Structures are given as structure tokens and as C-alpha cells.
């Protein structure tokens, strides 16, 4: 698989097979992804990966947290701007509607939608759970470096036939994650990532998100028409 194939075939997978991802593979891609560029070569990404017993223990802790009360911890950063204007608002709405259409969950079924969202907090059944944290002293530029690492990682996983889904959803339960991982206080949680092999039978995995046409987000200066 070349880079273009990996880019084209990567998509967010939200249902996984009960199949182990080899630890040697994980070590390799986690290390290789660190070849990602970062401003000043700060390499600000900090990564926790959970498999097997620690993942089971974490999931149990999370289930316990959710069984008491699903209301989130106070968020440490806004996932979206307060007032999400166009065209961003529509893009988000469209994605949500397309996903619930695949799942057959109607717009009025708020409970059904909420219940589905809770799958985030089980890593969608993935055999590998990853968390990405960053030093609180880092700013917007370094947060963009986190994206460099995470996308490189997802592409390297694709090259090896492994699927993933980045998950900002974890940020609203950062306290629970922090307690379990014993994250140093100077670090904050950016996102999680579910990693594993896609369940081909799961309707949600049929979702194919759209993209803006090139002309909508580029201005090509000096290009032939």
C-alpha cells in the first residue's frame, strides 16, 4: 500500500472485531509516527496506550463512572467554538445525520443517539485504546503538531491493515482518564483513539464522510485554469 492508498482508505471506524493487534506492530508504528514534523522539533505529543488487562481495568473504571452519572467532568478545552458558524456548522450536522442514518436512529430518538455516543467510552469495542496528552504550556502551534503525529500514526496503521478512530469525546471525562493513567498535573488530555480491525458487518462502518471540493478551501495562484 502506498501513501495515497493509506490516505484514501483511512476512515473513522466505530465498531471493531474482537481481534488482537500484535504488540510488535503497535510498537513499530508508535515509534515510526514520531518521524512526524513538529515546530522546533519539540515533539510535544505524549501517548498512553492500553491493551489487555490495563485496557479491561480502564474500561471497567469507565463503566463504573458512567453507571453512577453520565454528566461529564468540566471540559478542559472547548472541542468546538461556542458559536460554530457556517460552513462548519452544516458540515458537523451533515456528518451526524449521515451517521445516525446508517445506524437507523431517528433525529427525535435523543435517548438512542445518546446511548450510541456512549460507545465512545468503550473505545467502540476496540482492542487498543490510546490517549494523547500535551503539556499545558504548549499553545495552538504545538497542538497542531499533535495532529501531525496522530494522522501519521493512523496512516501507518492503515498500511498494516489496522483501523482507528480519533476521539475528542474522551476530553469531557478527562478527570477519570487522568486518575487512571496518573497523568502528571502539567499535562492535559487532548484526545483518545480507538485502534483495531474494523467490523465489516457493522452498519456504522459504512459511513463515508464527505469532503469540500478543492476550490472551496484553496486559492491557487498562478495555476492554469
Ligand X SMILES: Cc1cc2nc3c(=O)[nH]c(=O)nc-3n(C[C@H](O)[C@H](O)[C@H](O)COP(=O)(O)O)c2cc1C
Residues near ligand X (CB under 6 A) are 11-12, 14, 95, 120, 165-169, 191, 209
Comparing CB distances to ligand X, the nearer of 17 and 98 is 98
Comparing CB distances to ligand X, the nearer of 51 and 153 is 153
CA 36 to chain centre: 18
d(CA 175, CA 166): 19
Q: Are the C-beta atoms of residues 152 and 33 closer than 8 Å to each other? A: yes
Q: Are the C-beta atoms of residues 209 and 11 closer than 8 Å to each other? A: yes
Smallest distance, Å, CB 115 to ligand X?
14
Q: Nearest residue to ligand X, using CB?
A: 169
Smallest distance, Å, CB 54 to ligand X?
21
Comparing CB distances to ligand X, the nearer of 22 and 96 is 96
Dihedral of CA atoms 181, 187, 190, 195 in degrees, nearest 10, equals -40
Comparing CB distances to ligand X, the nearer of 12 and 142 is 12
Q: What is the Cα Rg of the chain in Å?
A: 18
Smallest distance, Å, CB 222 to ligand X?
30
Comparing CB distances to ligand X, the nearer of 34 and 169 is 169
d(CA 11, CA 155): 10
Smallest distance, Å, CB 223 to ligand X?
26
Smallest distance, Å, CB 224 to ligand X?
30
Name, in order, each residue with C-beta under 8 angstroms of 60's C-beta and a sequence gap of 6 or more. none
Smallest distance, Å, CB 103 to ligand X?
12
Q: What angle do CA 109, 111, 115 make, to 5 degrees?
A: 120
Q: Are the C-beta atoms of residues 157 and 163 closer than 8 Å to each other? A: yes
Comparing CB distances to ligand X, the nearer of 217 and 221 is 217
Residue 195: all three cell numbers together: 485502534
Amino acid at each position: 500500500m502506498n501513501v495515497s492508498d493509506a490516505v484514501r482508505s483511512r476512515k473513522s471506524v466505530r465498531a471493531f472485531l474482537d481481534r488482537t493487534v500484535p504488540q510488535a506492530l503497535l510498537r513499530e508504528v508508535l515509534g515510526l509516527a514520531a518521524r512526524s514534523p513538529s515546530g522546533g522539533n519539540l515533539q510535544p505529543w505524549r501517548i498512553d496506550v492500553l491493551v489487555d488487562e490495563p485496557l479491561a481495568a480502564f474500561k471497567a473504571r469507565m463503566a463504573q463512572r458512567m453507571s453512577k452519572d453520565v454528566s461529564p467532568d468540566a471540559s478542559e478545552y472547548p472541542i468546538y467554538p461556542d458559536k460554530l458558524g457556517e460552513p462548519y456548522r452544516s458540515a458537523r450536522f451533515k456528518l451526524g445525520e449521515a451517521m445516525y442514518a446508517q445506524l437507523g436512529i431517528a433525529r427525535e430518538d435523543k435517548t438512542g443517539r445518546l446511548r450510541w455516543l456512549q460507545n465512545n467510552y468503550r473505545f467502540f469495542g476496540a482492542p487498543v485504546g490510546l490517549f494523547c496528552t500535551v503539556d499545558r504550556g504548549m499553545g495552538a502551534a504545538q497542538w497542531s503538531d499533535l495532529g501531525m503525529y496522530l494522522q501519521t500514526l493512523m496512516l501507518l496503521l492503515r498500511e498494516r491493515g489496522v483501523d482507528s478512530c480519533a476521539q475528542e469525546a474522551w476530553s469531557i471525562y478527562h478527570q477519570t482518564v487522568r486518575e487512571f493513567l496518573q497523568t502528571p498535573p502539567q499535562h492535559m488530555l487532548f484526545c483518545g483513539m480507538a485502534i483495531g480491525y474494523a467490523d465489516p458487518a457493522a452498519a456504522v462502518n459504512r459511513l463515508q464522510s464527505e469532503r469540500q471540493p478543492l476550490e472551496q478551501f484553496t486559492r491557487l495562484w498562478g495555476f492554469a485554469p
